[in-house]
């Protein structure tokens, strides 16, 4: 069962992502971090297969976390952020730094509707990455 690490400063978003992944079945959420520094430390310790990563967080932002994850972990990284809608500067930067997929949160930094509107996209994106099929980064940024 693929191991997932959720890195997001919003407890509500972490809970929502965890609910989405549990409902999908076949995923094991092994950890939750509330900032990039915790995410890097937990990735080193837990060896996840996939990291979902917010961009705007205290202590260490998502871009710096992504840079460090690319050095220390083979995990697939799915950026899930209100700052990463198509063609946004952060989405472009995340792709350049090495994000495997970029998905925008549907309605802002504390997105209550990510479950209803983005859950299927998140699950599909993670499954495609784990199957080695890859993701069209333009498509995943929508």
DSSP bridge pairs for 33: 7
Global confidence as pTM: 0.85
DSSP bridge pairs for 101: 78
CB 22 within 8 A of CB 85: no
Q: Domain 3-140 sits in which CATH superfamily?
A: Response regulator (3.40.50.2300)
CB 53 within 8 A of CB 80: yes
Extents of the domains making up the chain: 3-140
pLDDT tens-digit series, residues 85-127? 667 888 888 889 999 999 877 544 444 554 455 588 889 999 9
CB 65 within 8 A of CB 36: yes
What does the pLDDT read at residue 106?
52
Q: What is the mean pLDDT of the chain?
A: 84
CB 44 within 8 A of CB 15: no
């Amino acid at each position: 069962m693929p191991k997932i690490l959720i890195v997001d400063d919003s407890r509500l978003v972490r809970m929502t992502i965890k609910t989405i992944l549990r409902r999908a079945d076949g995923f094991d959420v092994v950890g939750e971090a509330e900032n990039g520094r915790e995410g890097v430390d937990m990735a080193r310790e837990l060896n996840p297969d996939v990291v979902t990563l917010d961009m705007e967080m205290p202590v260490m932002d998502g871009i710096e976390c992504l840079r460090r994850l690319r050095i220390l972990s083979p995990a697939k990284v799915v950026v899930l952020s209100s700052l990463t809608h198509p063609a946004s500067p952060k989405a472009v930067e995340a792709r350049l730094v090495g994000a495997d997929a970029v998905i925008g949160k549907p309605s802002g930094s504390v997105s209550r509707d990510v479950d209803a509107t983005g859950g299927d996209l998140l699950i599909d994106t993670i499954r495609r990455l784990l199957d080695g099929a890859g993701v069209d980064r333009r498509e995943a940024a929508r």
